[in-house]
Amino acid sequence: MKPGARIAAAIEALNEVEELWLQETRAPVDAFLNQYFRRRRFIGSKDRGAVSRMIYSVLRNEALLNWHLKQNEVSLSARTKILVAAVLLDELGLEELKAAFCGQQYCPPTLSESEIRFIKNVAGRTAISEAMPLSVRHHFPGWMESQLVQIFNGELAQAMDAMKQEASVDLRVNTIKTNRQEALKVLTQEGLAPRPTSHSKLGIRLGKRGALFGMKAFRDGWFEMQDEGSQLVAQLVQAKPGEKGIDFCAGAGGKTLALAAQMENRGRILAWDVSGKRLGQMKPRLGRAGVSNVQVRVIKSERDNVVKRHRDSADWVLLDVPCSGTGTWRRNPDLRRRTTQADLVELKQRQKAILESAARLVKAGGRLVYATCSILPEENEAQVTEFTGRHPDFALESPALRLYPHVDGTDGFFGSVLRKK
């Protein structure tokens, strides 16, 4: 595709996803893009990557891009956002943009006189202005400002800058099939510049992106894509062969697979979730990984009758609860826009309800592991403190795990291990 055609596709895709959000459809942008490209098979892999990068560039910097558009009295649209990102972030000049916005087949319509004036006005300027409010400069919801300032104190700028960077591609080696050394060899041969992760002993970070899903090693179940932080949360469980464990909010099964490998495929894992669609994504992954000790079940809610049937029986229960996802802003920049204060209130109530119900599953001496991909204390430390206050039969086993992109190079995660006395 020509540069203009790529820009036109990015404008079209961004416009479609914004229309969905106006309808209050909370579709994650990565899921939307997968569907968008599936409907347009003619767009090649390199072009898909270029289009995706343009859209994510806008979403990661949307607040400051919108600020510049408003300052210049330019209407907010998918076209103008892509245009201002090209000028301020990619530093494209007027002539390059005229060539791309040429009005030819598959390219965007030609630039208007007002757009040309706008380009001339902002060209050469820095994207960040001291006149911007703090929340615009660092691109976070204004209502979160006091919380984020308190969390990061003098490191707010570094923390938020790290949240705007493209996330790394991390893999977890499946020890049921291979080991990290052998996986590193295969990935090196594929030219992906792999290296061991800094914290997870099973992790590999890629220096280059490639067609992972087409690799024989992937089809043979040697590895799964999983952020290093997520791997460390799974390692908190310390699942052992022969145990009975319950992954209460299993989703698509990333941590379930890691736990099955910890248990050397021996024992029993019950993988539950309220979303049958997400659990459905786990089944082919289990087969590819050679996992045979997982039983998948859709539950109606955290109060499902199945919880009563397994009361006081689990060696461990993992609760990777629904949360604001603030720790995943690198991967899901749209969450900055889509998460509201009302959402947070609702999420905290749901987290509390899940904790209360799932705690019944843990047997005496067993472990309850509470985790989120949030950086907000009210979803993390506060929930654990309130829970132990209500349940003196549970005690913190070790200091909590707290991960931040600017410190640890992972997504933001929280994990706490509670032992039932």
Give the catalytic positions in this structure: 373
User: DSSP states of 198-214 as a string?
Assistant: SS-TTEEEESS---GGG
Answer yes or no: are the C-beta atoms of 394 and 356 closer than 8 Å.
no
**Nearest alpha carbon to residue 163 among 141, 183, 179:** 141
**Nearest alpha carbon to residue 136 among 308, 274, 337, 279:** 337
Name the percent of the chain in helix, strand, coil, to the closest 5.
Answer: 50, 15, 35
For the four alpha carbons of 219, 221, 223 and 229, in that order, the dihedral sign comes to positive
Cα–Cα–Cα angle for 420, 369, 298, rounded to 5 degrees: 110
Measured distance CA(354)–CA(57) in Å, rounded: 35
Question: In the chain, how many H helices and how many E strands?
Answer: 20, 12
Q: How far is CA 212 from CA 170, 206, 208, 288, in A?
A: 11, 11, 11, 14
Which helix H or strand E contains 134, and what residues bound it? helix 134-137
Phi-psi region of 413 (alpha: psi -120 to 50; beta: other; left: phi over 0): beta
User: DSSP states of 273-329 as a string?
Assistant: ES-HHHHHHHHHHHHHHT--SEEEEE-SSTT-HHHHHTTT-EEEEEEE-----GGGT
User: DSSP states of 115-132 as a string?
Assistant: HHHHHHHHTT--S--TTS
Query: How far separated are the first and last CA of the chain, in Å rounded?
Result: 63
Answer yes or no: are the C-beta atoms of 203 and 233 closer than 8 Å.
no
Q: Which residue has the tokens 């979403």?
A: 59
Measured distance CA(208)–CA(168) in Å, rounded: 9
φ, ψ for residue 10 (rounded to 5)?
A: -65, -40
**Nearest alpha carbon to residue 128 among 78, 69, 68, 72:** 68
Cα–Cα–Cα angle for 181, 235, 328, rounded to 5 degrees: 95
